[in-house]
Amino acid sequence: MCLTIPKKVVEIDGNKIVVELANGDRQSVKSIVALEIGDFCLTQQNVAIERIDADYAGELIEILKGGKANV
């Protein structure tokens, strides 16, 4: 099983997409899904593989930080 942390799209320049983690770290990725600046996504091996809802991204980040999960 692979775990990926939600990342926010902060820049798009052609095929180059820059995403930001909750801690402020940034990385360049490629994408197989349509993304816009402000979207949240899940990545695997530097490829954005899924766009996710901002609320869901927030829940996942909170869980990973050790917060409460409403499940």
In this predicted structure, what is the pLDDT of residue 31? 95
Question: Would 69 be classed as within a structural domain?
Answer: no
Residue 37: alpha-carbon gap to chain centroid: 11
Question: Would 25 be classed as within a structural domain?
Answer: yes
Please give the tally of structural domains in the chain.
1
The residue range of the domain holding 46 is 7-64
Question: Would 70 be classed as within a structural domain?
Answer: no
Give me the DSSP letters along 12-45. Answer: EETTEEEEE-TTS-EEEEEESS---TT-EEEEET
Residues 33, 58: Cα–Cα separation, whole Å: 20
Question: Would 42 be classed as within a structural domain?
Answer: yes
pLDDT tens across the length of the chain (71 residues): 567 899 999 999 988 899 999 999 999 999 999 999 999 999 999 999 999 999 999 999 999 888 665 54
Q: How many Cα neighbours within 13 Å face the side chain of 26?
A: 9
Q: What's the pTM?
A: 0.85
Q: CATH number of the domain at 33, please.
A: 2.30.30.140
Residues 25, 34: Cα–Cα separation, whole Å: 22
